[in-house]
């Protein structure tokens, strides 16, 4: 466990090489660490002189000790994207939600020019907006493939409902709702409709249920996790895996031991880790089976760090990982 110095609920975490890390959460909270987790410091609150203390920063993406962006999730213009380039002493507003009825769920970045934002549907279509010039201008994705089912949405639980392979893969994002879970995948080279949605019936249906996080080992091998956050101890339908870039999904035969909000592949450890409000699990066989790791209360993951409510931050101890399969 780490001493975060805050009691805010933390939902954003981004580790840069395991030594530098940024975290974010409720009440305008942004934290920064430069020594592998030994000391976390509070950043200046973006727009502190206005309404910054009311913002809920569900995601953070960082490049180094000086530069990061944070995304606020909230109704309408309470969804915003800020950037710092001076070790979080000051912040610049890059973008605020142009949709009064919108709600942003995640941001994904490559270099400091390329960002993509995912938001809940507005007028029956998911909000996907990108910039290639650092936020000076934004392009809204079009296409009938982004149409949503009734009360379908993405989840802003860990800033990982949106997945992008910036090197050689497309965009993808996971959803949920009363009609069930789907994964939307973009095809850059498609001449007609660039978005295709694939249903994953193994995930539960409901307003609080579906896919909460996507990650990949390589673009052929993906893992999706989720469940129903109102039933945190229910392990049914909490994970699925794909070996053909998300076109077909198979439910885990031994799923995580509860609802999960974030998942990540560790190349150094050669395993997957997933976390949720009743603990975490590992998989050594690309999501087919999962083994319990702990019973902590967690929201988001960026190895080796994990964050949760009431300022909880922990750092993974690889020596404590269980060996073998379940």
Whether 159 maps to a domain, the answer reads yes
Taking alpha carbons only, the member of 308, 124, 130, 108 closest to residue 214 is: 108
Instruction: Give the phi and the psi of residue 19 in degrees, each rounded to 5.
Output: -105, -45
Residue 112: band (very low, low, confident or very high) from pLDDT cuts 50, 70, 90: very high
Q: Sign (positive/negative) of CA torsion 288, 175, 194, 114?
A: negative
Q: What pLDDT is recorded for position 8?
A: 98
Give tens-digit pLDDT for 190-209: 656 789 999 999 999 999 99
Judge whether residue 127 has pLDDT over 90: yes
Which residues does 155 contact at the CB level (< 8 Å), separation at least 6?
A: 105, 161, 174, 176, 210, 211, 212, 226, 229, 261
- Computed over every residue of the chain, the mean pLDDT equals 95
Judge whether residue 266 has pLDDT over 80: yes
Whether 253 maps to a domain, the answer reads yes
Q: What pLDDT is recorded for position 324?
A: 57
Average pLDDT over residues 221-231: 97
CATH of the domain at 275: 2.130.10.10
Give tens-digit pLDDT for 139-158: 999 878 999 999 999 999 99
Taking alpha carbons only, the member of 300, 302, 314, 313 closest to residue 6 is: 313
Whether 191 maps to a domain, the answer reads yes
Average pLDDT over residues 304-318: 97
What domain range is 296 assigned to? 10-320
Q: What pLDDT is recorded for position 326?
A: 41
Give tens-digit pLDDT for 89-100: 999 999 999 999
Taking alpha carbons only, the member of 124, 127, 129, 171 closest to residue 148 is: 124
Q: What percent of the chain has pLDDT over 90?
A: 89
Judge whether residue 325 has pLDDT over 60: no
Q: What is the reported pTM?
A: 0.96
Give tens-digit pLDDT for 166-182: 887 678 999 999 999 99
Whether 2 maps to a domain, the answer reads no
Consecutive H or E run containing 141: none
Whether 4 maps to a domain, the answer reads no
Lookup: tokens for 65: 């000790």
Consecutive H or E run containing 200: strand 195-200
How many domains is the chain partitioned into structurally?
1
Q: What pLDDT is recorded for position 192?
A: 65
Long-range contacts from 96-99, C-beta under 8 angstroms, 24+ separation: 99/127
- Beta strands 250-251; 239-242: pairing state: antiparallel
Lookup: tokens for 112: 């400091």
Average pLDDT over residues 17-34: 97
Query: How far from 308 is each of 7, 71, 114, 185, 258, CA to CA, in Å?
Result: 10, 17, 28, 29, 15
Average pLDDT over residues 47-61: 98
């Amino acid at each position: 466990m780490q001493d975060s110095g805050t009691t805010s609920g933390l939902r954003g975490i981004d580790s840069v090489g395991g030594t530098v890390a940024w975290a974010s959460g409720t009440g305008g909270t942004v934290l920064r660490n430069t020594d592998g987790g030994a000391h976390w410091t509070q950043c200046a609150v973006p727009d502190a002189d206005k309404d910054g203390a009311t913002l809920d920063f569900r995601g953070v993406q960082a490049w180094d000790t000086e530069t990061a962006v944070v995304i606020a999730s909230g109704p309408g213009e309470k969804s915003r994207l800020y950037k710092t380039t001076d070790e979080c002493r000051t912040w610049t507003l890059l973008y605020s939600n142009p949709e009064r009825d919108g709600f942003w769920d995640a941001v994904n970045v490559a270099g400091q020019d390329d960002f993509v934002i995912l938001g809940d549907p507005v007028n029956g279509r998911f909000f996907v907006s990108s910039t290639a010039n650092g936020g000076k201008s934004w392009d809204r994705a079009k296409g009938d493939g982004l149409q949503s089912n009734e009360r379908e949405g993405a989840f802003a639980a860990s800033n990982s409902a949106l997945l992008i392979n910036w090197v050689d893969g497309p965009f993808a994002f996971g959803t949920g709702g009363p009609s069930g879970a789907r994964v939307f995948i973009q095809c850059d080279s498609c001449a007609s409709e660039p978005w295709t949605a694939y249903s994953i019936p193994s995930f539960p249906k409901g307003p609080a249920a579906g896919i909460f996080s996507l990650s990949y080992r390589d673009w052929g091998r993906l893992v999706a996790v989720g469940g129903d956050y109102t039933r945190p101890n229910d392990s049914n339908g909490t994970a699925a895996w794909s070996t053909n870039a998300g076109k077909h999904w198979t439910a885990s035969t031994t799923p995580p031991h509860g609802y999960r909000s974030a998942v990540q592949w560790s190349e150094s450890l050669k395993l997957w880790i997933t976390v949720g409000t009743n603990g975490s699990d590992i998989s050594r066989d690309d999501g087919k089976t999962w083994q319990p790791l702990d019973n902590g209360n967690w929201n988001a993951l960026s190895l080796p760090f994990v964050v949760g409510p009431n300022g909880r931050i922990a750092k993974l101890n690889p020596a404590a990982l269980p060996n073998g399969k379940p």
